[in-house]
Structure 1
Amino acid sequence: MTPEELLNTLEDLGDEEFTKFKWFLQQPDSLRGFPGMKKGRVQTTTRWDTVTLMVQTYRLPGALEVTRKVLEKINRNDLVQSLTAIVFEHLHWV
């Protein structure tokens, strides 16, 4: 799994879905076990800046888990399945 693959996933979100995604990043209760991000850090970020912040905050495995949790909350289970497939594919390459 790479940050680029997380970016590709966020690029599949519409603008309103991306806004909801960032809102959930600010809600620690939604992230179960991960701290929420400060509103000022994430509110106006682009998709690639959001990936960078997530990787800096949660490291890559944590960013993947947070992404999956938030995608479930915004009912984008298709993207959750895509991420799962990418992770599974990477495990077979190792």
Structure 2
Amino acid sequence: MRTTEDLLNILEDLRDEELDKFKWFLQQPESLEGFPNFKKCQLQTASRLDIVDLMVQTYRLRSAVEVTRMVLEKINRNDLLQKPENP
């Protein structure tokens, strides 16, 4: 299973434009297939650290990993899913 540190490392690998898209998809209920979405005000000024914290608080770690996977696929960054997990 991935850790919160793995999620942070993935978000740190996103360029700023990709991070903006990532945040946008987290706000779209139809993009998250059964997971709750975030309000714009929660993400507007959120740092990468804040996003990981919000996701883990809202979804728990396992579901946060799944939501991350779904959004990365939507922004065409599946390559980040191939990164090795922390042991």
| Larger Rg, first or second structure (1 or 2) | 1
Same fold (TM over 0.5): yes
TM-score, normalised via structure 1 length: 0.86
Q: TM-score, normalised by structure 2?
A: 0.92
- After TM superposition, which residue ranges in structure 1, 4 or more long, deviate above 4 angstroms? none
Aligned length: 86
Identify which of structures 1 and 2 has the higher relative contact order when contacts are C-alpha pairs closer than 8 Å and 6+ apart. Answer: 2
**Structure 1: runs of 5 or more not aligned:** none
List gaps (5 residues or longer) in structure 2: none
Paired with 1:76 and 1:42, the residues of 2 have a C-alpha distance of 20
Aligned-partner residue type, residue 66 of structure 2:
E
Identity %: 66
CA RMSD after TM alignment: 1.3
Name the amino acid aligned to 1:45: A
Taking the aligned partners of 2:16 and 2:77, their CA distance within structure 1 comes to 14
* Structure having the larger proportion of residues in helix: 1
User: Once the two structures are superposed, what CA deviation does each residue of 1:13-68 show, in whole Å capped at 9, x if it has no partner?
Assistant: 00000000000000110011101111111111000000000000100001000000
